[in-house]
């Protein structure tokens, strides 16, 4: 099945390095990042999982739970976690799904047969507290993902949900943001943006980041 933005992230039950996980129940009211790896004991994946572990406080600050996946076994995951912790000076505290039967990989379309018949590509999904898919990225096996970018997108999504703003290209924390075009009522705009805004065009209204 191929997923699209705005779809409900499929629920599943699967084994993991921390026990059996019922995905939606495990997510609870949190945001989630579900990301797949081609295989255990591969170099790029080792660095990515180390990075995710080291960014644990950043994910927690944003109310995000992280969960990785590969089609290897739990025994393999447990051995690999020792390597990740040792080589990346990290402490992997999040689950790694052991998707031996490829149940989750297929639900999330993580196997791209023309890239590999059997292994998952580097997919990543950001899921919101309503279980909607809000970001999907797919990277090739040889390119590690940029987890600062993943955090940046989560910040942008949370700003949109909480403050009715969108973020311009290359936006970073503290930069001005744009008022979403759907917001037109002048009274509401005044209430929501007490710092004011600058209309470069009627459709392009810049305002200081509201939560700074």
Q: Would you call 45 a catalytic residue per the annotation?
A: yes
The minimum distance between CB 89 and ligand BEZ, in angstroms, equals 19
Stretch that binds ligand BEZ, among 37-45, 78-86, 94-102, 181-189 (CB under 6 A): 37-45
Euclidean distance between CA atoms 71 and 69, whole angstroms: 7
Number of residues that bind ligand BEZ (CB under 6 A): 7
- 166 sits in the region (left: phi over 0; alpha: psi -120 to 50; else beta) called beta
- The residue (of 120 and 156) whose beta carbon lies closer to ligand BEZ is 120
Angle at which helix 43-54 crosses helix 147-163, to 10 degrees, equals 40
Read off the tokens for 29.
Answer: 């009211």
Euclidean distance between CA atoms 63 and 80, whole angstroms: 27
Alpha helices in the chain, H assignment, sequence order = 23-27, 43-54, 56-61, 74-88, 103-107, 147-163, 186-192
Binding of ligand BEZ by 38 (CB under 6 A)? yes
Euclidean distance between CA atoms 106 and 210, whole angstroms: 40
Binding of ligand BEZ by 119 (CB under 6 A)? no
Residue among 21, 34, 45, 154 that touches ligand BEZ (CB under 6 A):
45
Residue among 44, 107, 135, 166 that touches ligand BEZ (CB under 6 A):
44
Binding of ligand BEZ by 50 (CB under 6 A)? no
Binding of ligand BEZ by 115 (CB under 6 A)? no
Catalytic residues: 45
**Binding interface with ligand BEZ (CB under 6 A):** 38, 42-45, 141-142
């Amino acid at each position: 099945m191929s997923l699209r933005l705005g779809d409900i992230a499929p629920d599943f039950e699967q084994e993991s390095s921390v026990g059996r996980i019922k995905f939606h129940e495990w997510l609870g009211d949190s945001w989630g990042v579900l990301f797949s790896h081609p295989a255990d004991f591969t170099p790029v994946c080792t660095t990515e999982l180390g990075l995710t572990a080291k960014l644990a406080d950043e994910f927690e600050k944003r109310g995000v739970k992280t969960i990785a996946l590969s089609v290897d076994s739990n025994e393999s995951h447990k051995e690999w976690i020792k390597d990740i912790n040792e080589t990346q000076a990290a402490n992997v505290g999040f689950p790694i799904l052991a998707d031996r039967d490829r149940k989750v990989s297929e639900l999330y379309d993580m196997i791209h047969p023309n890239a590999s018949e059997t292994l998952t590509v580097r997919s990543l999904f950001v899921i919101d507290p309503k279980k909607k898919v809000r970001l999907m990225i797919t990277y090739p096996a040889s390119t590690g993902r940029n987890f600062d970018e993943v955090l940046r997108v989560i910040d942008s999504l949370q700003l949109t949900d909480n403050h009715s703003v969108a973020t311009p290209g290359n936006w970073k924390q503290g930069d001005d943001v744009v008022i979403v075009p759907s917001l037109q009522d002048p009274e509401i705009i005044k209430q929501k943006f007490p710092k004011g805004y600058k209309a470069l065009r009627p459709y392009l209204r810049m305002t200081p980041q509201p939560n700074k």
